[in-house]
């Protein structure tokens, strides 16, 4: 057996787990690990400019590759800066292993310099976490961390390693197998339940497939596509599910929920069978839960048993891996087709087409002012959808989700559950590191971008050719939209017109910068920006008061979508307030 | 959602890895998700690497289903059993330090109450008795009620521990379970 230090041992463990890319930031107690990395060319490190950026970059890497993203940071503030990223990955089921340094074992609890109880702090925003208490348990814990991160419902795992464990010497032996008697995720779905689901699917007259990020996490988009070809059941995707089914497919209805399409929300409301696959009935999807999909039987396929019946009733729960369950389901459904035939769905398809025509996704075009949706549409046209797109959080995120047609899985990176502003740009860095040859575009707003703008130094110094699209409307747009609709247009703390000159700022960082201020410049700037080598920032001065439609007001029923701003409340004396119902479509 | 089922008391037995930090994970889960803990008791199991917890919680069916699932989801939990789904035995120990000098007859009265409830007097001083009793919740509540007029100086409860009954499983959910009122 080979004697090595804890630092060396850690790197050996990472290599055993097929890690080649680390995102990190050095500091006091992890210096020995960075020293070992310096001597080891097989592990590449992206030095971000903030630990939060490192975690989001690892998320982008993990989501695009399907591998575990790895982060290495120091103790104290280094560790606490990862918390937002951990919470984000925890909500969106992104597999990460985040390694934090810790003060020496003997000093833990003494309020030592750069000490933080990160295991305590991160307990509720990780899938699991570990404090390594001696070098002898280091290999086992790293192996368990990777296994837990990538299996079952994936998620972030934090491993806290004290300085003395890092510098200690010990025999290295990587365990071949592991036993976690308390952790044994169900992967194979119950055959009897699957058969019941298949029978319901064969009989339903108005079925809908409601598909979430689980289909991407389990790489089951091919099974999904086969299932749709066989059953002809129309599909709606959640924000996290985009890319799991081609956005241009005739049976695709668009996204559902708060900013979903009219057709998708109407179909879910009127369906007689709702088949949820790898989705968790999030409040942004369901709207008012009591009025969500009121006429349907519900099949819920998910790997996480706690997702089932957490928010919504379920008739046929199937716990397990979506890929295995969907292929079993296909088998059963084929048998039913051959023996009894499937229910024809043409009338249902026609109804959905009618809804699609009634209220397609649209916006008011303008020859002068740049409409943000126009920038997204143009980006899709110019790239043909052949790129990886990340977003931050807010209006630009919803416009990208609506107007960019995602064709393949793992090309869409967004912060769905936590809604983390500042996620998108570093996530794009991680994706670009994973796929150096592919085009990676970060769509952001001038608000979100400022939250991790320091990463411009990262892309400039490592020549990571991420293309940044800033849709600058001078407002925290989604906040402003809510204030306009529900707070009498009192724009409290949402105007941020004093943003820096982003083009000059980009240049100062060493990133090429272009700006468009008129609609006729959009295509030119996009062409120039997308064809320029290296990292590029493109700023589009867009309509400041453009809104995201359709919209289901928070707490409202999904069929009460609004397509235009509700009229303002009468100035005085109006007892009823604004006449919201005028703009409300009720089915 | 389905109409809310009534709030019910549940005794949940959990086997966890006997490691540092596991108790915080369990307790943290309850506080983070807004579940009640009425009592919690922890001790080592037969296997020293396993700790045994009994949690008494209150919730409707949906909440209790989530509690057991969420507990199961913790990596360090080995087994979760909602004892309230079948027949079980639950006991709690309480120690009460009671004044015996408020009224002249109180010293005799405290002694009598101890006898009736088969409590032990585990400590005594000229002006107090400390009674210890083990029993079901109703019994403990009844004894505390009777001791109250004497003046309770201090009261310590262990929290319930519970174990499933070993018997042919013909008990149904509607039958009266030990330690629990009929639904």
- A148–B28 CB contact, under 8 Å: no
Would strands A169-172 and A2-5 be described as parallel, antiparallel, or unpaired? antiparallel
Catalytic residue among A12, A51, A223, A484: A51
Contact B24 A123 (CB under 8 A): yes
Interface residue B34 vs chain A (CB under 8 A): no
**Which chain A residues are within 8 Å of B69, Cβ to Cβ?**
305-306, 308
Interface contact B1-A290, CB threshold 8 A: yes
Q: Which pLDDT does position A570 carry in this prediction?
A: 59
Question: H helices of A340-492, where?
Answer: 346-358, 372-383, 395-403, 424-434, 446-449, 456-462, 477-486
Do A2-172 and A372-541 fold alike per CATH? yes
Domains of chain B with CATH codes: 8-85 (3.30.70.260), 89-161 (3.30.70.1150)
Domains of chain A: which residue ranges?
A: 2-172, 191-358, 372-541
**E strand intervals along A303-353:** 316-319
Provide the shortest C-alpha distance from residue B34 to chain A (in Å): 13
CB B178 within 8 A of CB B136: yes
Q: For the residues of A425-445, what is the DSSP string, one character each?
A: HHHHHHHHHH-TTS-EEEEEE
Cβ contact A92:A240 at 8 Å: yes
pLDDT at A569: 63
Spatial separation of the C-alpha atoms in residues A34 and A57, rounded to whole Å? 19
Shortest Cα distance from B2 to chain A (angstroms)? 7
For chain B, list residues with pLDDT below 70: 1-4, 168-183
CA of B2: which chain A residue's CA is closest?
A313
* Contact partners, residue A60, CB within 8 Å, separation at least 6: A69, A390, A413, A426, A427, A428, A429, A430, A431, A434
What is the pTM (predicted TM-score) of this model? 0.93
Helix (H, G, I), strand (E, B) or coil at B130: strand
**Does the distance separating the beta carbons of A128 and B73 come in below 8 Å?**
no
Contact check, Cβ <8 Å, B25/A123: yes
- A478 given a catalytic annotation: yes
For the question of residue A205 being annotated catalytic, the response is: no
Q: Strand B120-125 to strand B77-82: parallel, antiparallel, or no bridges (unpaired)?
A: unpaired
pLDDT of the residue at A260: 97
| Structural class in CATH, domain A2-172 | alpha beta
B78 chain-A contacts, CB cut-off 8 A: 181-182
Q: pLDDT below 70 — which residues of chain A? A: 569-587
Q: Which residues lie closer than 8 Å to A55 by C-beta, 6 or more apart?
A: A23, A71, A82, A84, A85, A86, A88, A89, A96, A98, A426
The answer to whether A72 touches A48, Cβ cutoff 8 Å, is no
Whole-number pLDDT of residue A582: 37
8 Å CB contact of A183 and B75: yes
Q: What is the pLDDT of residues A543-566, one digit of tens each?
A: 999 999 999 988 899 999 999 988
- Residue A242's nearest CA partner among A229, A259, A227 is A259
> Which of A159, A182, A184, A185 is best to mutate for the B interface (most B CBs within 10 A)?
A182
- The Cα angle at residue A270 between residues A264 and A273, in degrees rounded to 5: 90
Nearest to B1 among A131, A289, A306 (CB): A289
- The CATH architecture of the domain made up of A191-358 is 3-Layer(aba) Sandwich (3.40)
How many Cβ pairs within 8 Å bridge chains A and B? Answer: 42
pLDDT of residue B168: 66
* B75 touching chain A per CB within 8 A: yes
Q: Does residue A255 carry a catalytic annotation?
A: no
- B4 vs A: CB within 8 A: no
Q: What is the pLDDT of residue B163?
A: 94
**Termini Cα distance of chain A:** 72
Q: Domain spanning A372-541 has what CATH number? A: 3.40.50.970
Contacts of B1 in chain A (CB under 8 A): 289-290, 311-313
Residues of A with CB under 8 A from a CB of B: 119-120, 123-124, 127-128, 131, 148, 180-183, 289-290, 304-306, 308-313
Q: What is the pLDDT of residue A575?
A: 42
To the query of whether residue A258 is one of the catalytic residues in this protein, the response is no
Question: Could you tell me if A537 and A504 are in contact, meaning their C-beta atoms sit under 8 angstroms apart?
Answer: no
Residues 6+ positions from B132 with CB-CB distance below 8 Å = B93, B94, B95, B96, B119, B120, B121, B122
pLDDT given for residue B167 in this prediction: 72
Nearest residue to A313 (alpha-carbon basis) of A345, A281, A341: A281
pLDDT score recorded for residue A498: 85
A163 is catalytic: yes
């Amino acid at each position: 057996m080979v004697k090595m230090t804890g630092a060396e041992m850690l790197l050996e463990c990472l290599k055993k787990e097929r890690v080649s890319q680390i995102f990190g930031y050095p500091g006091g107690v992890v210096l020995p690990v960075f020293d070992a990395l310096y001597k080891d060319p097989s592990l590449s490190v992206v030095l971000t400019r903030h630990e939060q950026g490192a975690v989001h970059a690892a998320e982008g890497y993990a989501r695009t590759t399907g591998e575990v993203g790895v982060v290495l940071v120091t103790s104290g503030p280094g560790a606490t800066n990862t918390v937002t990223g951990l919470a984000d990955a925890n909500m969106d089921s992104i597999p990460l292993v985040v390694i934090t340094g810790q003060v020496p074992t003997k000093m833990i609890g003494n309020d030592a310099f750069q000490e933080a109880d990160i295991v305590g702090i991160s307990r509720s925003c990780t899938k699991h976490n570990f404090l390594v208490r001696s070098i002898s348990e280091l290999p086992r814990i790293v192996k368990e961390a990777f296994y837990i991160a990538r299996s079952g419902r994936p998620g972030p795992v934090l491993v806290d390693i004290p300085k003395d464990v890092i510098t200690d010497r010990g025999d290295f032996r990587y365990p071949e197998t592991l036993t976690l008697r308390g952790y044994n995720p169900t992967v194979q779905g119950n055959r009897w339940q699957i058969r019941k689901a298949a029978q319901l699917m064969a009989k339903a007259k108005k079925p809908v497939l409601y598909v979430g990020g689980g289909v991407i996490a389990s790489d089951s988009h091919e099974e999904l596509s086969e299932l749709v070809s066989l059953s002809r059941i129309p599909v709606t995707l959640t924000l996290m599910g985009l890319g799991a089914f081609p956005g241009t497919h005739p049976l695709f209805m668009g996204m559902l929920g708060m900013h979903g399409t009219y057709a998708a929300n109407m179909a879910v409301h009127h369906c007689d069978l709702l088949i949820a696959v790898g989705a968790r009935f999030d409040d942004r999807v369901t709207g008012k839960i009591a009025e969500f999909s009121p006429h349907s039987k519900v099949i819920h396929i998910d790997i996480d048993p706690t997702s089932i019946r957490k928010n919504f009733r379920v008739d046929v729960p199937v716990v397990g891996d979506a890929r295995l369950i969907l292929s079993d389901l296909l088998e059963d459904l084929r048998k039913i087709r051959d023996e009894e035939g499937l229910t024809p769905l043409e009338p249902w398809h026609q109804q959905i087409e009618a809804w699609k025509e009634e209220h397609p996704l649209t916006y008011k075009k303008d020859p002068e002012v740049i409409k943000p949706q126009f920038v997204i549409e143009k980006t899709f046209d110019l790239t043909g959808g052949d790129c990886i797109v990340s977003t931050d959080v807010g209006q630009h995120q919803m416009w990208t989700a609506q107007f960019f047609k995602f064709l393949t899985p793992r090309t869409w990176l967004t912060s769905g559950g936590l809604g983390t502003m500042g996620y998108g740009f570093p996530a794009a860095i991680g994706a670009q590191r994973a796929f150096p040859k592919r085009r990676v575009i970060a769509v952001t707003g001038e608000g979100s971008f400022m939250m991790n703008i320091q990463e411009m130094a990262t892309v400039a110094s490592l020549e990571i050719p991420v293309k940044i699209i800033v849709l600058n409307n001078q407002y925290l747009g989604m906040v402003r939209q809510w204030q306009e609709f529900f707070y009498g247009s009192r724009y409290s703390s949402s105007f941020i017109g004093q943003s820096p000159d982003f083009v000059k700022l980009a240049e100062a960082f060493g990133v090429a910068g272009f700006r468009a201020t008129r609609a006729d410049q959009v295509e030119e700037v996009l062409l120039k920006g997308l064809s320029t080598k290296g990292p590029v920032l493109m700023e589009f001065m867009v309509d400041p008061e453009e809104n995201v439609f359709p919209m289901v007001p928070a707490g409202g029923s999904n069929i009460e979508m609004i397509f235009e701003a509700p009229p303002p409340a009468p100035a005085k004396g109006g007892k009823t307030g604004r006449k919201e119902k005028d703009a409300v479509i009720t089915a | 959602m389905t109409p809310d089922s009534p709030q019910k008391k549940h005794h949940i037995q959990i086997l966890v890895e006997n490691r540092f930090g596991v108790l915080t994970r369990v307790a943290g889960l309850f506080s983070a998700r807004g579940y009640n803990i009425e009592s919690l008791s922890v001790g080592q199991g037969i296997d020293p690497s396993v700790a045994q917890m009994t949690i008494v919680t209150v919730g409707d069916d949906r909440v209790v289903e989530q509690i057991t699932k969420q507990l199961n989801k913790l990596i360090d939990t080995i087994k979760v059993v909602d004892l309230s789904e079948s027949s079980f035995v639950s006991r709690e120990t309480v120690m009460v330090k009671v004044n015996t000098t408020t009224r002249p007859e109180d010293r005799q009265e405290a002694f009598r109450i101890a006898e009736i409830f088969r409590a032990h007097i585990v400590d005594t001083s000229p002006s107090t008795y400390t009674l210890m009793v083990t029993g079901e919740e109703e019994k403990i509540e009844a004894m505390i009620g009777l001791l109250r007029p004497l003046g309770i100086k201090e009261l310590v409860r262990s929290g319930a521990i519970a174990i499933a009954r070993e018997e042919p499983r013909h008990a149904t959910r509607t039958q009266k379970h030990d330690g629990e009122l009929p639904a």
